[in-house]
Amino acid sequence: MSSIGLNQWIAQIKRRLFDDLAQGRNPSEGDFDQVALKEARAKGSPQLGATVLAPDRIEVQFVFPDPTSAASVVSVSLMPPERIVFLPVPPWVVENIWQGSVDGSAVFESEARDLIEAFLREVEPESNLKHFGLKQASRRE
């Protein structure tokens, strides 16, 4: 088990990778396309791009802007120290959109136990996979 949280781990890795690229070095860890990096370097200095998570990998993107043509994006693929799990908002959380507050809800103890068991099932690899990738905008009626 990792001694630091996912966000802190990613921040440290991104900083190291960005420093490598900014200093003209190849990324010190992870997998990347050497040809794409060479072409991107010809366009200029790197900027931090998006970070894309999957249960078994992290894609850190670096953007190399070019004012005269399209920017290049170089992705560095990393293996996390353990499986990444997405924790969805549990069904007992109530969001009051008008007030901007988030709170719990009152339920019978038996219902609470059922809700907790259902939430724990969401951590299992097969159930959790649906939470990764592109998401559609949600709208409450």
The answer as to whether 131 is a domain residue is yes
Please say which residue of 78, 112, 127 terminates a domain. Answer: 78
Q: Which of 8-22, 63-77, 122-136 is predicted least confidently?
A: 122-136
Predicted structure pTM score: 0.80
Decide if 1 is inside a domain.
Answer: no
96 shares a domain with 69? no
User: In the listed set 24, 47, 78, which residue is the last one of a domain according to the structure?
Assistant: 78
Q: Percent of the chain, pLDDT > 70?
A: 92
Q: Are residues 16 and 64 in the same domain?
A: yes
Tell me what pLDDT residue 84 has.
96
pLDDT greater than 70 at residue 139: no
Selection from 7, 13, 6 nearest residue 60 by Cα: 13
Longest dimension (CA), the chain: 63
pLDDT > 60? residue 140: no
Pair (97, 73) in one structural domain: no
Residues 18-65: tens digit of each pLDDT:
999 999 999 999 999 999 999 999 998 999 999 999 999 999 999 999
Question: pLDDT of 88-118, one tens digit each?
Answer: 888 888 776 677 787 888 889 999 999 999 9
Residues 10 and 73 in one domain: yes
If one counts the domains in the chain, the total is 2
Distances (CA, A) of 109 to 13, 105, 119, 122, 132: 43, 12, 15, 20, 31
Tokens of residue 130, six digits: 């649906």
Do residue 40 and residue 99 come from a single domain?
A: no
Does residue 38 form part of some domain? yes
pLDDT value, residue 138: 64
User: Are the beta carbons of 46 and 25 closer than 8 angstroms?
Assistant: no
